[in-house]
A and B are shown apart, each in its own frame.
Chain A
C-alpha cells in the first residue's frame, strides 16, 4: 500500500531523481493546496453525508436483516481513505484502501460488492451538490474509481444475495 512517492523513493535508491520524477514531485506539491481544500470540503460535509447514506441504507438494511444503520462507522473510515488518496495524489490507492475493505466487508456480510458501489454513488451525488466546481473536479476521479471497481458489471456476480432477500443475519456475529 505504498504511495507513488514511496515507490519512487525506493526505485531511485542511490541515484538522483530524473527530471521527469522531479516534475511529478513538484506538480503534486503545487496542486496540494487545492486538494487539501477539497478534503476540507469533504470533512465539512461528512456528518450530513453520513446521514444521507444512513437514510439510503436503512430500509435495505432491514431487508437484509442488518441493524438499521450498519455502515456509518465504516463509511467514516472509507471517506477518510478517499481523502488520504486525494492528498497523496494517488488514484491507485483507492483500489487498496477503499475498494478492498469494501469487498472484504461485503464478503463478511454476504452482500454484493455492488451495494457498496451504490453507496459510493449516493455519497458522490450527495457530496457533489455541496462542493464547489474545483473540489468536484478533484474528487470526481476518486469516487469514480471506487464506483467503477465495485460495480464493474453488476450482472457478473453469481450467487450473491440480492437486496430483496431477507436473511437472518446478525452483524455483531461477523
Chain B
C-alpha cells in the first residue's frame, strides 16, 4: 500500500489518480496531525500512568508471575503508544505494524499473557487516551488504538496463563 513513507511503487511509474488523491489528502491533513502529535506528546506520560493504575487494579497478580511486570509494562506501553503517535503523524499504520506490533505480539505470547489480558490492557489505553485528549486528536488516534486491541489480542489461549 502506498504511503508517503513507502513510495516504492512509484519508482518506475507515475502515480495513479487514486494515489494522487491519497498524497493530496496526506498533505492537506498534515496540519491537523501535527497538532494532534504535539498534544499526544504532552499527554502520553499521563495516559500511561492512568492506564497502569487501572491495570494494577484489574490484574493485581501480575507481579507473582512477572516480578518487574508493571515496570516493563510501563516501558512497553510507552513504546507502543509512541509508535502509534508516529504512525498517526505519518498516516501510516504499516510503520507501526512493521516496526513494533508484529514482534511485540510474539513477545507477549511468550509471557503467557491471555487474549483477554491484552484486550483489557489496550482497551484501557484507548479509554485513557479518550479521556485525556481532545476529540479531534482522539479521532486520529482511535483507529490505531483499535487496531492494536484487535491485533494483539488475536493470540491463542496459553496453556498456563500468567496474568
Contacts and interface: CB of A to CB of B under 8 A. Distances in A.
Main secondary structure on chain B at its contact with chain A? helix
B79 A9 contact: no
B82 interface: yes
Interface residues of B, number: 28
A13 B99 contact: yes
A107 B35 CA distance: 50
Interface string A10-30: 001111110000100110111
Interface in B69-88: 79, 82, 85-86
A9 B99 contact: yes
Interface string B81-101: 010011001100001000100
Interface string B1-28: 0001111001111110000100110110
Nearest to B14: A43
Contacts of A97: 11
Given A14-B82, A16-B82, A22-B34, A29 B4 contact: yes
Contact of A6 (B5, B11, B79, B82): B5
A14 B34 contact: no
Given A14-B82, A16-B82, A32 B13 contact: no
Contact of A29 (B11, B26, B85): B26
A40 B14 CA distance: 8
Contact of B14 (A5, A30, A83): A83
Contacts of A6: 5-6
Contacts of A81: 11-12
Contacts of B30: 25-26, 29-30
B12 to A, nearest CB: 5
B106 interface: no
Interface string A57-90: 0000000000000000000010011011001100
Main secondary structure on chain A at its contact with chain B? helix
Contact of B7 (A13, A77, A87): A87
Contacts of B10: 80, 83-84, 87
B14 A9 contact: no
Contacts of A52: none
A29 B34 CA distance: 11
20 contacts: A3-B5, A5-B5, A6-B6, A9-B90, A15-B82, A16-B82, A17-B86, A22-B89, A25-B30, A26-B30, A26-B34, A29-B27, A30-B30, A32-B23, A36-B24, A40-B14, A80-B10, A80-B11, A87-B15, A87-B23
Given A17-B37, A81-B12, 11 more contacts: A3-B5, A9-B99, A12-B86, A14-B79, A26-B30, A32-B23, A80-B11, A80-B12, A83-B14, A84-B7, A84-B10
